[in-house]
Amino acid sequence: QVQLVESGGGLVQPGGSLRLSCAAPGFTLDYYRIGWFRQAPGKEREGVSCISSSDGSTYYADSVKGRFTISRDNAKNTVYLQMNSLKPEDTAVYYCATGTRGAVCPLLLFRPETAVDYWGQGTQVTVSS
């Protein structure tokens, strides 16, 4: 069973930054595309960003493009989401996820029901003054 563990969430003021981490004890993330998703209260889950396994290509939702950066450190078996210029509308529970069916990043992000096999437990991000 694959366990994904997110960390790094918290309370931050508008304009601030946070870095989320996604680790997978006992499971090598190197070979898999990893996606970040978020869900705010009363809203549908939204695909935020994804990083490929092969060439490190990255994908972003329009709502976070230019503010968020996804990266991976294979030596630490961890994927990061650096979030800058945070806005109140970024408030949500953030999840990392992956699939073993070889789905490309756009499919992983925008059709997770067909591509995601494993979800983390989520980490809360609150942007408020």
3-state secondary structure of 21: strand
pLDDT of the residue at 103: 85
- Model confidence band, residue 81 (pLDDT cutoffs 50, 70, 90): very high
101 pLDDT higher than 90 = no
Give every CB contact of residue 106 below 8 A, 6+ residues apart in sequence.
50, 59
Of residues 107 and 124, the one with the higher pLDDT is: 124
26 pLDDT higher than 90 = no
The mean pLDDT value for 96-118 works out to: 91
Is the separation of the CB atoms in 8 and 123 below 8 Å?
yes
3-state secondary structure of 30: helix
100 pLDDT higher than 90 = no
